[in-house]
Amino acid sequence: MKDTYKDFKSLSSVEKENSDFQLFINNTGSRIAIIAIHGGDIEPGTSEIAKSIASEDLTCYCFEGIKNKENKKYLHITSTKFDEPNCIEICKKSTTIVTIHGADGNGKIVYVGGCNKLKHRIIKKLKNDDFDAREDITNHSGRSNKNICNKGLLKKGLQLEISNGLRKKMFRGLKRNDRKFTTEIFDNFVKSIRFVLSENNAKKN
C-alpha cells in the first residue's frame, strides 16, 4: 500500500495530534533508543513491544495511530522517509537505534534487519528461546542509510519486523483494548531482546 503522505510535515498538515495520532516519548539519555514509528493501530502491538523492551532505562519513542479506523492507510510513513522532529532529535543523540515493526503473514516469524552486526546475536538468542528468527534479506531489510534505524550516531541500527501471526500470540488480540493483555510469549520476546542489548551495553562499559 502506498503511503498517503510523503513525510511528517504533509501528514501533520491534515492529521491532528492527540485526535488522529499521538507521540510517546521517554528520553532517558541512554545510548540505545527503541523506536516504533508505526505504533498504536498502524501496526498493532509494535508500540507495546517497544515500550516494554525500553522499560524505564532505555530511551523510547513511539508514533501511534489513534484514529477510529484506517490508521495504516493514513498514518504510515515508510522508514526511509519518517522525519517527525522529536524522533530525529532522539536519533541524533543515540548511538544505536532499534526499530520495532509489524510484518504481514500468519507465520510466527521475526525478521531481523539493519546494518548492525548485533543482529546475528539477536537471531541466535531468539532461536535459542524458541522463536523463528531470520535475517531480513528483503528490499525493506533496514539496510538503507536513509532508514530511521540507521540515523543514530553509529549509522548502524537494528530493525525487527514481527509477523502478524507472532504478534497475535503476544496479546489477547490485536484490537486496541486486547493489547492491554500480554502473554508469556510477549514476555519471553522482550526478555530475549533486552538480554542481548544489556549484554552488548555491558561490554562497552
Q: Which domains does the chain have, with CATH numbers?
A: 8-203 (3.40.630.100)
The set of cell numbers assigned to 79 is 522508514
Q: What is the rounded average pLDDT of the residues 164-175?
A: 98
Largest CA distance in the chain: 46
Over the stretch 7-20, which tens digit does the pLDDT of each residue have? 999 999 999 999 99
Asked whether residue 38 carries a pLDDT value surpassing 80, the answer given is: yes
Strand extents, DSSP E, 104-198: 109-114, 132-135, 158-163
The C-alpha atoms of residue 106 and residue 198 are separated, in whole angstroms, by 30
Sorting pLDDT into bands at 50, 70 and 90, what band is 205? very low
pLDDT of residue 139: 82
The C-alpha atoms of residue 167 and residue 131 are separated, in whole angstroms, by 12
Residue pair 173/179 in contact (Cβ under 8 Å)? The answer is yes
The C-alpha atoms of residue 92 and residue 94 are separated, in whole angstroms, by 6
> DSSP secondary-structure letter at 59?
E
Over the stretch 58-99, which tens digit does the pLDDT of each residue have? 999 999 999 999 999 999 999 999 999 999 999 999 999 999
* Nearest Cα residue to 171 out of 191, 185, 192, 190: 185
CA dihedral 111, 114, 117, 122 (to 10 degrees): -30
Asked whether residue 34 carries a pLDDT value surpassing 70, the answer given is: yes
Over the stretch 114-140, which tens digit does the pLDDT of each residue have? 999 999 999 999 999 999 999 999 888
Global pTM reads: 0.97
SS3 44: coil
SS3 181: coil
Residue pair 40/47 in contact (Cβ under 8 Å)? The answer is yes
